Amino acid sequence: MKIALGVTGGVAAYKAAELVRRLQQEKLDVQAVMTRAAQEFITPLTFAALTGQKVITEIFSAENAAPANVESAIEHIAVAQRIDLLLVAPATADSLAKFAQGLAGDFLSTLYLATKAPVVVAPAMNVNMWEHAATQENLATLRARGVHVVAPDEGYLACGMVGAGRLASTDAIVLKVRDVLGLRHDLDGQTVLITAGPTCEDIDPVRFLTNRSSGKMGYALAEAAQRRGARVILVSGPTDLKIPEGADWVPVRTTEQMHQAVRERAAEANIVVMAAAVSDYRPAATHEQKMKRDDGGLTLTLEPTPDILAELGREKGQRVVVGFAAETNNVAENARGKLARKSADMIVANDVTQEGAGFDTDTNIVTMYLPDAPEISLPKMNKFDVANRIFDQALSIRKNSK
């Protein structure tokens, strides 16, 4: 795989040299791109020697400007199409602002606009610049567009101040790159059972009770688990989503069907994640014919459905069991209650009233609740990243219980 490493003009630019080596250890082919300011801190020669490739420093270099050399004059487009990922480390406040604004005055910002590959930025700057509303707003814009941000560490900064702004560790940056490229294999040999989507409980042949679940969280979990090497059994209520290639896809409609499918398949799984929005009640009786309108009101009698997660929790053995909790109020209290009641190893709770969280969005804002441990609150991130954080946690539960 090929990645472009954009180096911008900050003191931490020298750390990008070490980064090249680490990326190469991941079998990644690195093309370095430097801004003019970056070259004040470290020379292109360093990167040329490390990558064995010409370093791109200018949008209109002398050779590019030659009319005969049209090919290299549109090099940014060629590079943009060739790469599997664009990593910018260190990313200065200036480069983040350019990306957020869509300015394209140099090679790197042009590459950012021209590429369809995922983008990872690792900012590094003075703490006040980092905390400035302008920088934070630019970052929010970039995050909303799907740019992955490796947040800076806190500590002593080159300017003499102490605070957030140090380039994240090489390990953290490489981990993020591997994550985004799906290069982790820590679920090799494991089977993960995931429930996803809504359930439908029929009232009569044309009407049913359901909920607003799109299945996106469950399908993101399936994709993340597969990319990390797991065999995935995806028990899914009705959704419009593409069936993940290679997954063992088990379509169901009702809670009872989901219940049966999970019962049949749970023994194969090492990790179970119940992301489905299961109906808690179903009509006590399903009418065989379409119900007719009457002058009076209508009362539907509902009965509880089997609690699949609670049943699984009771018989979980060595299995790690993760549940979800979609809440509209008292999130923490309800999630902790479910953790205990369902004997789960983790409850992933989200407040579905928040913008960017819950049903039918591509992002989620979740908190992970674990028994006898403080909760872990994650910022708004896309569901694929949330899925990876859930598996990180599930793996550490497995390790600790061994």
In angstroms, the CA 399 to CA 282 distance is: 39
Catalytic residue among 73, 97, 159, 378: 159
Helix axes 15-25, 44-51, angle to 10 degrees: 10
In angstroms, the CA 179 to CA 183 distance is: 6
The nearer residue to ligand C5P, 232 or 276, going by C-beta atoms, is: 276
Judged by CB under 6 A, which stretch of 173-181, 273-281, 290-298, 350-358 contacts ligand C5P?
273-281
The nearer residue to ligand C5P, 6 or 323, going by C-beta atoms, is: 323
Alpha helices (H) along 157-295:
170-181, 216-227, 255-265
Residue 276 near ligand C5P by CB under 6 A = yes
Residue 278 near ligand C5P by CB under 6 A = yes
The nearer residue to ligand C5P, 87 or 335, going by C-beta atoms, is: 335
> Which CA distances in Å does 52 have to 32, 45, 59, 63?
10, 10, 20, 19
> How long is the chain?
402
Helix (H, G, I), strand (E, B) or coil at 177: helix
Which of 110, 254, 255, 363 forms a contact with ligand C5P (CB under 6 A)?
Answer: 255
In angstroms, the CA 230 to CA 145 distance is: 28
Which of 208, 324, 384, 391 forms a contact with ligand C5P (CB under 6 A)?
Answer: 324
Q: Are strands 201-202 and 208-209 parallel, antiparallel or unpaired?
A: antiparallel
- Is 200 marked active-site? no
Written as six digits, the tokens of 47 are 């990167």
The nearer residue to ligand C5P, 4 or 390, going by C-beta atoms, is: 390
Size of the site for ligand C5P (CB under 6 A): 15
Span 338-357, contacts to ligand C5P by CB under 6 A: 338
The phi, psi pair for 208, rounded to 5°, reads -150, 160
Which of 323, 380, 384, 386 forms a contact with ligand C5P (CB under 6 A)?
Answer: 323
In angstroms, the CA 25 to CA 4 distance is: 15
Which of 195, 236, 343, 361 forms a contact with ligand C5P (CB under 6 A)?
Answer: 195
x/- contact string, 283-322, with ligand C5P (CB under 6 A)?
----------------------xxxxx-------------
Helix (H, G, I), strand (E, B) or coil at 75: helix
Residue 325 near ligand C5P by CB under 6 A = yes
Is the distance from CB of 192 to CB of 271 less than 8 angstroms? Answer: yes
Residue 237 near ligand C5P by CB under 6 A = no
Residues in contact with ligand C5P by CB under 6 A are 195, 255, 274, 276, 278, 280, 305-309, 323-325, 338
Looking at the annotation, which residues are catalytic?
A: 159
